[in-house]
Amino acid sequence: MVHQLSAPEVWLERYGNVLYRFALARVRDGYVAEDLVQETLLAALKAKDNYAGKAAEQTWLVGILRHKIVDHYRKQASDKTQAFDETMLPNLDNGLFDSDGAWEASAVSSWSKPEQLLEQTQFVAAMQTCLDRLPERMAQLFVLREVEGLDSEDICQMLNISTLNNFWVIMSRTRALLRQCLHQQGFTRD
């Protein structure tokens, strides 16, 4: 199926909020998100003659926005002189492991009925809440890896992470934190 583009004037009305939400979930700052939407629509306007009609209009616009977001992450990381590594993370093992490296009792409950859990809108809301509570660069790292599905090596370059080993350590802590946060949001094994 070949898709047709609608007139650029209707893009903003039709997709503005979708794009804005998509951006906001990934950059946290409303002004930055708004800028990204604007850049996306301007870029789309320039590129509209090259639109091949392979993707639906919204998918095409979201695709452009994804690139803009990644550019934004990259720029942010390059603005920071310090590389993103383990030493920048808050001490997150508190509350997760004791001094012997064993799980703390408060960290151990797990989720029941996972399939049903994923269907719940409250669970999706909780995932968003927990993502927002992470330090910003951790959240970016996680989104690039788990939501955008990018390669670890590419993410290291983008976010100025010096070694893959650092990447794994940060990812591990991020996942542990998210899980702990979801537990605190009430999603526990009953």
Partner 1 sequence: MLTCKQASQLASKALDAKLTFRERMALGSHLLMCKLCRDYRQDLRLLRQGFKRIDTQDRLLSDSARLSEQSKQRIAEKLHQQTQDTETK
Residues that bind partner 1 (CB under 8 A): 8-9, 11-13, 16-18, 20-22, 24-26, 34, 37-38, 41-42, 45-46, 62, 93, 96-97, 100-103, 108, 110-111, 114, 117-118, 121, 123-124, 127-128, 142, 145-149, 152, 164, 167-169, 171-172, 175-176, 178-179, 182, 189
Q: Considering the complex, what minimum distance in angstroms separates the CB of residue 4 from partner 1?
A: 19
Q: Considering the complex, what minimum distance in angstroms separates the CB of residue 71 from partner 1?
A: 18
Which residue(s) pair with 97 in the sheet? 103
**Contact yes or no for 181/133 (Cβ under 8 A):** yes
Q: Considering the complex, what minimum distance in angstroms separates the CB of residue 41 from partner 1?
A: 6
Whose Cβ is closer to partner 1: residue 78's or residue 189's?
189
Q: Considering the complex, what minimum distance in angstroms separates the CB of residue 100 from partner 1?
A: 7
* Residue appearing with tokens 């542990």: 176
Whose Cβ is closer to partner 1: residue 76's or residue 109's?
109
**Contact yes or no for 92/173 (Cβ under 8 A):** yes
Q: Helices 164-184 and 152-159: crossing angle, nearest 10°?
A: 90
Q: Considering the complex, what minimum distance in angstroms separates the CB of residue 173 from partner 1?
A: 8
Whose Cβ is closer to partner 1: residue 78's or residue 129's?
129
* Residue appearing with tokens 């010096």: 162
Whose Cβ is closer to partner 1: residue 37's or residue 160's?
37
Element (H, E) at 58: helix 57-79
Whose Cβ is closer to partner 1: residue 81's or residue 114's?
114
Q: Residue 164 to residues 27, 64, 85, 86: CA-CA distances in angstroms?
A: 24, 28, 10, 11
Q: Helices 121-133 and 164-184: crossing angle, nearest 10°?
A: 130
